[in-house]
Structures are given as C-alpha cells and as structure tokens.
C-alpha cells in the first residue's frame, strides 16, 4: 500500500528539461544532416556552372580558370570542409551568378516567404479548428448525416487538388477573369494583410484547411461522446463553456499533432506557389538557383527552409506540452 502510494505520488523532476535537451540535440542533428545533404545535392545537378559562367565562346582554359576562381577544382573533401567552416562562421558564401553574398539574397527573399507562410499558418488554424468543431457539434450522435457527408465530400475533393492547379484556377478566375483580386506587382514590397497576398495564400491554405478541419470534426465527435461532457450537459452548463472550455483543450492534442505535419507541408507548398505567382521568395529562389547551378544559393536555401520546417515542428511540440505535459515524454515516476 505504502509502496503503491509512493510510486503514484513521487514524481521527480520537470519534464521540460529532458524535453529541451532532446529537442536541442534533435535540432543539432537536423542541422548537421542539412549541411551534408545541401552539399551533396549540388553535386548531383548535371552540368558545370563554370562552363555557363565562362560564356559560350570560352575554351577549356577559360573554363578551368573560372572553376579555379569558384573553388570547384578543389578536392571534394576540401570543398566540404571549407563549406562547413564558412557556415559555422556565418558565411554562406557568394552567389556564382550575382556575385553578392548569399545572406543578402536570402535577406531580400525571406520577407515574401515569411509573410505568406505566417499568413497561411494563421488562417489554417483560425478557420480549420472552428469549422471542424462546428461540423462536429452539428453532426454529433448521427444527426444531419447529409451535412457530414457533404462536408467530407467537399473537403476531400478540395484537398485532392494539387497546389499549382488551385493557384492557376484562382488566378484565371479572380485575377484575370473578374479582376476582383490583384496579382503581385513587379516592385512589390511585402506587407502583411495586403490584397496582393490573397491569391497565393488562398492557394496554399485551401488544402490544409480541409485536412485539419476533418481531423477536428472527427476528434470533436469523440470528445463529445465522453462521460464528462454528458455530465456537463446534465448540469445544464452553457454550450460555450462545454465546447470551448472543456471540449477544445481535449481535442487540441491530436489536432496539433496533425497540424504540425500539415503546417510543415506549407513550406513545401510555398515553393510551388511562389513559382506560379513569380514571387521573389525563397521557393522561387531555390528553383532559379538550381536552373542556374548556383551552388552557394542552393545550399543556403536548403538549410534555411529545412530549419524553418524544424522550428515549426518544435513550436507545435511546445504547444502540445503546454496543453498536456504528458506529451513531452520527459516525466518519470520514482520508486
């Protein structure tokens, strides 16, 4: 009896410390992996950047001279060592094409991607969670099956449309067709909330909203069937208190877990959307760098985009921990 009480009652240490250590080590591992992948991936790009930079009339000597200037004539191991040393010292190199620091290029392009991504993440969470809860409440207990079926069909259909197809449709319909929304002007400076962001953000968020709202609807149905909510209804508590104060926190755990995966996918979606709308962000930048065989830009953008995705996952894990510390996996019981 005493032993059982000791096991049940003596919980030592905060789960946040081991969580922080694990996540820090995880970020370091991801960073190292990105360093290796970003270096090796440029070696797989066909063609010689020196040949393109030397010009169409260049002979072998000219190409060799350009290769030497770019450091491409060094052994692979030496190039990797120089690359890692530069990154760790904060020097991401100089663009082959533009002959300017890669950090400057990223600094010019990051605001576009950041504005679109932050807008998309905010809209997905603010729309998908209330929408899924509303449908879950309206269809609980098998009621309004037509609504449940229609919601599943429409969200499934929209979720299956590729991002570039959705972007093209929105451009043709709302920009070129009825002229309701503008495209990005050539000299556009990103500003949160501008009408020019509506089309690219809409193209990104429609699929994730459908995915997350379906998860929320399913979790809402499960939570509303729990005994404590049936008891709350018996106590005649206000509906807003039952749904917002009791139901919402209990369905957020699984919802945020799925949302983390979806929101990470938004970063990849931004690459496609920026290309469709010809936006000067990181996504279109990395595609242009690949076509130009601009190795330093490719490597830097792979690292930046990869770390942004990792930080989004970390933020989701922190939010899950704030809601329920058991998700941290760091607490333990002493004997």
Say if CB 132 and CB 215 are below 8 A apart. yes
Span 222-265, pLDDT tens digits = 777 666 666 666 666 666 666 666 666 677 777 777 777 777 77
pLDDT at 219: 82
pLDDT at 260: 74
Q: What does the DSSP assignment read for 265-296?
A: HHHHHHHHHHHHTT--SHHHHHHHHHHHT-HH
Distance CA 170, CA 277 (A): 11
Say if CB 212 and CB 132 are below 8 A apart. yes
Distance CA 98, CA 96 (A): 6
Q: Does domain 105-326 have CATH number 3.60.150.10?
A: no
pLDDT at 192: 46
Say if CB 271 and CB 283 are below 8 A apart. yes
Phi and psi torsions of 333, nearest 5°: -110, 130
pLDDT at 296: 92
Say if CB 41 and CB 293 are below 8 A apart. no
Say if CB 209 and CB 154 are below 8 A apart. no
The pTM assigned to this predicted structure is 0.78
Say if CB 132 and CB 251 are below 8 A apart. no
Q: Where are the domains of the chain?
A: 2-88, 105-326
Neighbouring residues of 149: CB distance < 8 A, sequence distance ≥ 6: none
Hey, how many other C-beta atoms are within 10 angstroms of the C-beta on 63?
18
Q: What angle do CA 102, 53, 75 make, to 5 degrees?
A: 75
Q: Which residues of the chain have pLDDT under 50?
A: 1-10, 185-187, 192-193, 330-335
Q: How far is CA 253 from CA 51, 193, 215, 323, in A?
A: 53, 29, 11, 7
pLDDT at 157: 92
pLDDT at 335: 35
**Dihedral, CA of residue 254, residue 255, residue 259 and residue 262, to nearest 10:** 80
pLDDT at 228: 64
Distance CA 202, CA 28 (A): 34
The token pair that represents 254 in the structure block: 């699984």
pLDDT at 277: 79
Q: Minimal CA–CA distance to 209: which of 135, 151, 269, 155?
A: 155
pLDDT at 222: 77
């Amino acid at each position: 009896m005493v032993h059982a009480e000791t096991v049940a009652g003596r919980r030592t240490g905060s789960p946040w410390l081991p969580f922080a250590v694990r996540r820090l080590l995880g970020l370091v591992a991801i960073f190292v992996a990105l360093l290796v992948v970003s270096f090796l991936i440029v070696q797989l790009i066909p063609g010689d950047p020196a040949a393109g930079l030397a010009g169409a009339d260049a002979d072998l000597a000219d190409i060799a001279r350009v290769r030497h200037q770019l450091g491409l004539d060094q052994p692979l191991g030496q190039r990797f060592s120089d690359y890692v040393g530069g990154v760790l010292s904060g020097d991401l190199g100089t663009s082959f094409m533009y002959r300017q620091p890669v950090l400057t290029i990223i600094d010019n392009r990051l605001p576009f991607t950041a504005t679109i991504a932050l807008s998309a993440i905010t809209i997905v969470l603010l729309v998908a969670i209330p929408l899924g809860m509303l449908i879950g409440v309206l269809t609980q207990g098998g009621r309004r099956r037509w609504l449940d079926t229609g919601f599943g069909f429409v969200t499934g259909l929209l979720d299956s449309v590729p991002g570039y197809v959705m972007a093209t449709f929105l451009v043709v319909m709302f920009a070129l067709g009825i002229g309701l929304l503008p495209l990005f002007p050539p000299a556009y400076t990103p500003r949160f909330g501008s009408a020019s962001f509506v089309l690219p953000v809409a193209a990104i968020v429609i699929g994730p909203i459908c995915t997350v709202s379906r998860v929320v609807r399913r979790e809402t149905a499960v939570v509303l069937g729990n005994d404590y909510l049936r008891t709350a209804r018996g106590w005649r508590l206000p509906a807003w208190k039952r749904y917002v104060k009791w139901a919402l926190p209990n369905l957020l755990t699984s919802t945020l877990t799925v949302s983390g995966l979806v929101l990470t996918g938004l970063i990849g979606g931004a690459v496609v959307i920026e290309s469709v709308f010809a936006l000067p962000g990181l996504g279109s930048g990395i595609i242009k760098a690949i076509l130009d065989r601009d190795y330093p830009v490719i490597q830097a953008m792979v690292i930046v985009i990869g770390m942004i995705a990792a930080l989004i996952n970390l933020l989701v894990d922190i939010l899950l921990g704030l809601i329920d510390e058991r998700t941290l996996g760091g607490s333990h019981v002493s004997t």
